[in-house]
């Protein structure tokens, strides 16, 4: 794979502060699963040994970030911490107006409150679930236009997050540019497996949108991981620094939404950034109603300080090399054991292909949920289903079940949290499960909420 020729790529840090993890027995875990309605979102986190539920807000902060926490200025307006946050975000993005929000979805909510609404349509490579929910909540439609390779779990195409430019152009013509208030690209493409987008494709999307005067925004949650993939895989970028590449990425777009809980290396925070002054003013007016004054926007001064430092550390190439390698390492071991995963490994997670792992479970019995429950039962590992529980639908007229395009189980790797031996343990558990995968059972949903049902749904095993 991309790092095979080198010596072991080690964690580029030493550990100063540790947090114990709690061991449970298989019997205890069977009870915990039952009590949680077989939905790992409803566990007590203390009952989890290795938590791969998400890479969002789960990073370990550095000593410098923790010292920034002590140094935070908690003034209501004009805090020093806001200006260090603003400077750090501007340094990477180059955008003029930087609006702090308490997390990524708050930035999305503000953006689509202004730009969304009935009759509007917003294209993206693949909308993340909160982005889609915020667009649909405004009355608009969220449209996914990722390339076909991005939907093929076995394709080794290097930029599976790319948008299909022909589909985008047809979409603009059919929908009418006046009905498309904005176009987006998610880097890396989280819902499509953490797959990167190439610089070439970003430019092509920008050109297609700008031809019709449609603004172009990035969902920039994992911009640093995407930039490092560009360095490794795209012609002409091998000798550029990741920071230069990141700056070039942002320069292509007109603005971004960001969850700093990913590549901000913090536990809470986000921002909305843009060059359009009028849009920024509208956004700040909503911010004041929903988040807070424009120099804190739902965050403490200390949070802003930690983001400012996180954005410096995340473009460090020793960090990124370790980050991408640690995910690839898990992928390599699973592939070697014959476990079906989405290829090639993404930037923040490995995705088990549950339709191949448990082909005897039909999509309407949620094979991904079955793998997720078994991972916990056998090994105390928490993962998340990204398949028909998350994205499956019922046909509005016939009530017929419409499955998601893929049945995946995501093993998201928190940043700087687990060591190689934790990952080796995860591999052992999965291989043990894989050997007796025939015993996995399907599930039915016994309760579901009208939106984002995966967070609170309850399940029962099919007998
Ligand atoms: C996490 C995420 C969001 C939402 O951010 P939150 O901070 O969780 O609100 C939006 N888009 C993508 C691609 C994400 O990964």
Looking at residue 126, what is its pLDDT?
96
Ligand 1 binding pocket mutation candidate from 190, 266, 415 (most atoms within 8 A of CB): 190
Query: What is the Rg, in whole angstroms, of the alpha carbon atoms belonging to the chain?
Result: 21
Is 217:268 a contact under the CB 8 Å cutoff?
no
Looking at residue 399, what is its pLDDT?
86
Whole-angstrom distance, CA of residue 128 vs CA of residue 185: 10
Q: Do the domains 63-313 and 26-48+316-456 match in fold?
A: no
| Rounded (5°) CA angle 339-344-346 | 100
**389: exposed, middle or buried (C-beta count within 10 Å: 0-12, 13-18, 19+)?**
buried
Looking at residue 105, what is its pLDDT?
97
Distant-in-sequence, close-in-space partners of 388: CB < 8 Å, separation ≥ 6: 363, 364, 366, 368, 401, 403, 404, 407
CA 58 to centroid of ligand 1, rounded, Å: 13
CA 262 to centroid of ligand 1, rounded, Å: 8
Whole-angstrom distance, CA of residue 203 vs CA of residue 197: 11
CATH code for the structural domain at 26-48+316-456: 3.90.1150.10
CA 184 to centroid of ligand 1, rounded, Å: 14
CA 100 to centroid of ligand 1, rounded, Å: 14
DSSP H/E element including 121: strand 121-124
CA 28 to centroid of ligand 1, rounded, Å: 32
CA 440 to centroid of ligand 1, rounded, Å: 31
Q: Which atom of ligand 1 is nearest to the CA of 103?
A: 7
Name the pTM for this structure: 0.94
Nearest to 177 by CA among 201, 131, 209: 209
Residue nearest to atom 6 of ligand 1 (CA): 104
Ligand 1 binding pocket mutation candidate from 132, 219, 270 (most atoms within 8 A of CB): 219
Longest dimension (CA), the chain: 61
Residue nearest to atom 8 of ligand 1 (CA): 104
**Domain 63-313: CATH class, spelled out:** alpha beta
CA 388 to centroid of ligand 1, rounded, Å: 20
Report in angstroms the alpha-carbon separations of 144 from 124, 263, 347.
Answer: 5, 23, 20
Is 291:63 a contact under the CB 8 Å cutoff?
no
Ligand 1 binding pocket mutation candidate from 53, 58, 104, 224 (most atoms within 8 A of CB): 104
Domain limits of the chain?
Answer: 26-48+316-456, 63-313
Report the length, in residues, of the chain: 463
CA 193 to centroid of ligand 1, rounded, Å: 14
DSSP H/E element including 338: none
pLDDT in tens, the chain (463 residues): 566 667 899 999 999 999 999 999 999 999 999 999 999 999 999 999 999 999 999 999 999 999 999 999 999 999 999 999 999 999 999 999 999 999 999 999 999 999 999 999 999 999 998 999 999 999 999 999 999 999 888 899 999 999 999 999 999 999 999 999 999 999 999 888 899 999 999 999 999 999 999 999 999 999 999 999 999 999 999 999 999 999 999 999 999 999 999 999 999 999 999 999 999 999 999 999 999 999 999 999 999 999 999 999 999 999 999 999 999 999 999 999 999 999 999 999 999 999 999 999 999 999 999 999 999 999 999 999 999 999 888 888 898 999 998 899 999 999 999 999 999 999 999 999 999 999 999 999 999 988 788 999 999 999 8
Q: Which atom of ligand 1 is nearest to the CA of 105?
A: 9
Q: Cα 89 to chain center, whole Å?
A: 19
Is 341:331 a contact under the CB 8 Å cutoff?
yes
Pocket of ligand 1, beta carbon within 6 A: 56, 103-105, 128, 130-131, 186, 190, 219, 221, 259, 261-262, 270
Residue nearest to atom 12 of ligand 1 (CA): 128
CA 404 to centroid of ligand 1, rounded, Å: 20
């Amino acid at each position: 794979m991309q790092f095979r020729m080198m010596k072991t790529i080690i964690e580029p840090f030493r550990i100063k502060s540790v947090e114990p993890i709690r061991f449970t027995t298989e019997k205890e875990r069977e009870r915990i699963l039952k009590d949680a309605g077989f939905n790992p979102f409803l566990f007590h986190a203390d009952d989890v040994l290795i938590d791969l539920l998400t890479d969002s807000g789960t990073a370990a902060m550095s000593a410098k970030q923790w010292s920034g926490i002590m140094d935070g200025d908690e003034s209501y307006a004009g805090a020093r911490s806001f200006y260090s946050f603003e400077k750090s975000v501007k340094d990477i993005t180059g955008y003029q107006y930087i609006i702090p929000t308490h997390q990524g979805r708050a930035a999305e909510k503000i953006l689509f409150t202004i730009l969304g609404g009935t009759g509007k349509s917003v294209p993206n490579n693949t909308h993340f679930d909160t982005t889609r929910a915020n667009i649909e909540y405004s009355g608009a439609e969220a449209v996914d236009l990722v390339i076909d390779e991005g939907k093929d779990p076995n394709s080794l195409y290097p930029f599976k997050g790319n948008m299909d430019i022909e589909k985008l152009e047809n979409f603009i013509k059919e929908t009418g540019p006046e009905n498309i208030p904005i176009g987006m690209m998610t880097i890396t493409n989280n819902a499509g497996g953490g797959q990167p987008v190439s610089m070439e494709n970003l430019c092509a999307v920008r050109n297609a949108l700008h031809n019709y005067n449609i603004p172009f925004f990035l969902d920039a949650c994992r911009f640093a991981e995407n930039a490092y993939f560009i360095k490794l895989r795209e012609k002409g970028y091998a000798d550029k620094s990741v920071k230069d590449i990141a700056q070039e990425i942002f320069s292509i777009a007109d603005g971004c939404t960001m969850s700093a809980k990913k590549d901000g290396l913090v536990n809470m925070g986000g921002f909305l950034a843009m060059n359009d002054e009028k849009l920024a003013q509208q956004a700040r007016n909503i911010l004041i109603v929903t988040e807070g004054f424009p120099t804190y926007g739902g965050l403490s001064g200390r949070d802003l300080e930690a983001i400012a430092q996180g954005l410096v550390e995340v473009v460090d190439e020793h960090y990124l090399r370790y980050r991408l390698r640690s995910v690839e390492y898990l992928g390599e071991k699973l592939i070697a054991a014959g476990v079906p995963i989405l290829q090639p490994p993404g930037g923040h997670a490995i995705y088990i292909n549950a339709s191949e792992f448990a082909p005897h479970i039909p999509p309407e019995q949620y094979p991904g949920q079955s793998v997720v429950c078994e991972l916990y039962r056998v090994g105390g590992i928490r993962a998340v289903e990204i398949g028909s529980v998350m994205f499956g639908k019922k046909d509005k007229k016939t009530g017929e079940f419409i499955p998601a395009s893929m049945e995946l189980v995501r093993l998201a790797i928190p940043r700087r949290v687990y060591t190689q031996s934790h990952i080796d343990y995860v591999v052992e558990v999965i291989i043990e499960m894989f050997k007796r995968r025939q015993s996995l059972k399907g599930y039915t949903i016994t309760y579901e909420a009208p939106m984002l049902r995966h967070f609170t749904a309850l399940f029962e095993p099919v007998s």
